[in-house]
């Protein structure tokens, strides 16, 4: 884990700011992202929305250090990201491909800690605590294929956080789940984030989800993509699927993002 990120004695995280500076990315001759600027403050929850194919996954890959930008840079705490950092946790849409099928739920969460030199008993203790936190205490000995999609995504979240992630990057994490499971997982992530204070960058094409979860929504559009709007979501830390979504401010934020999304001026 990166030396500069740290937890204090209460276990609260101290995430560092993420800054994207004039980031461009091309695949061969094709420009996907052009001159994108973005900032995520410590503990902030930023949703990134944009149509399918706009470059959201490409942006997250650059943010995570898995792929270098063509030009520009990503910094965490002022330090240029050139490889995956321990303080950045990743949760992808495809839960089927993200867990090791031959490992139990417990081992899937405990495994990455091995690389950090944590002893076996301690790894399992940490993993059990995280499984408990995501509501899966009873599934520790089960294999991924014995779990529903929603449960597998909970394991992926536990695994990302068990590594002491200060910054969680999520790429359409609930996209292939049914509506009820999805709402439950949105609230789980919000609860964990309120308690632990990690930053979140959530990529989604679901505008309601983007607004419901975030402190700020960044709208991407164009070929190559740039930020066409940034909407601050002033709905407080406590969110509720029914009360928040009926709040006139929520409706207004949603309409603003939607109008940018479909290219209409917001009245
Ligand atoms: N590895 C790659 N090589 C070439 N083109 C790619 C690659 N990955 C994505 N693309 C293209 O880049 C564009 C943006 O893709 P992506 O970042 O996956 O968009 P999104 O996640 O918003 O749907 C798409 O046109 C896609 O076909
Ligand atoms: Mg994508």
pLDDT band, residue 266 (cuts 50/70/90): low
Task: Indicate which residue's Cα is closest to atom 17 of ligand 1.
Answer: 55
The number of the ligand 1 atom at minimal distance from the alpha carbon of 205 is 22
How much distance in Å is there from the Cα of 115 to the middle of ligand 1?
31
Testing ligand 1's pocket by substitution, the residue of 24, 26, 27 carrying the most ligand atoms inside 8 A of its CB is: 27
N-to-C CA span, the chain: 47
Q: Which residue has the tokens 């959530």?
A: 202
Residue 81 has pLDDT above 50, yes or no: yes
* Cis peptide, bond prior to residue 66, ω within 30 of zero: no
**Least distant ligand from the CA of 173:** 2
**Where in the chain are the domains?**
13-87+167-267, 94-164
Q: What is the pTM of this model?
A: 0.93
d(CA 159, CA 86): 12
Pocket of ligand 1 (CB under 6 A): 27, 32, 50, 52-58
How far does residue 138's CA lie from ligand 2's centre (Å)?
32
Ligand 1: centre distance to CA 129 (Å): 37
pLDDT tens for residues 190-218?
999 999 999 999 999 899 999 999 999 99
Q: How far apart are alpha carbons 211 and 18 in whole angstroms?
A: 20
pLDDT exceeds cutoff 50 at 68: yes
Task: Report the pLDDT value the prediction gives residue 141, as an integer from 0 to 100.
Answer: 97
- pLDDT of 187 higher than 50: yes
- CATH superfamily label, 13-87+167-267: P-loop containing nucleotide triphosphate hydrolases (3.40.50.300)
Count other Cβ atoms within 10 Å, centred on residue 156: 24
| C-beta of residue 1 within 8 angstroms of C-beta of residue 113 | no
């Amino acid at each position: 884990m990166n030396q500069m990120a740290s937890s204090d004695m209460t276990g609260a995280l101290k995430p560092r700011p993420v800054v994207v500076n004039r980031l461009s990315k091309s695949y061969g001759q094709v420009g996907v992202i052009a001159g994108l600027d973005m900032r995520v403050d410590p503990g902030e929850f930023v949703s990134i929305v944009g149509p399918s194919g706009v470059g959201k996954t490409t942006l997250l890959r650059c943010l995570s250090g898995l792929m270098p930008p063509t030009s520009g840079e990503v910094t965490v705490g002022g330090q240029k990201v050139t490889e995956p950092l321990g303080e950045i946790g990743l949760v992808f849409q495809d839960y089927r491909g993200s867990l090791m099928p031959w490992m139990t739920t417990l081992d899937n969460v405990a495994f990455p800690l091995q690389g950090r030199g944590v002893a076996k008993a301690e790894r399992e203790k940490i993993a059990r605590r995280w499984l408990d936190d995501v509501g899966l205490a009873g599934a520790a000995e089960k294999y991924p294929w014995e779990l529903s999609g929603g449960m597998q995504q909970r394991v992926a979240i536990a695994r990302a956080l068990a590594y002491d992630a200060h910054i969680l990057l999520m790429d359409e994490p609930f996209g292939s789940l049914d509506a009820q499971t999805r709402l439950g997982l949105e609230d789980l992530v919000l609860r964990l984030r309120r308690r632990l204070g990690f930053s979140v960058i959530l990529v989604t094409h679901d505008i309601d989800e983007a607004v419901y979860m975030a402190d700020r929504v960044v709208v991407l559009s164009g070929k190559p993509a740039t930020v066409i709007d940034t909407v601050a979501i002033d709905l407080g830390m406590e969110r509720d699927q029914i009360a928040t979504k009926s709040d006139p401010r929520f409706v207004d934020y949603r309409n603003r993002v939607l109008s940018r999304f479909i290219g209409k001026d917001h009245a």
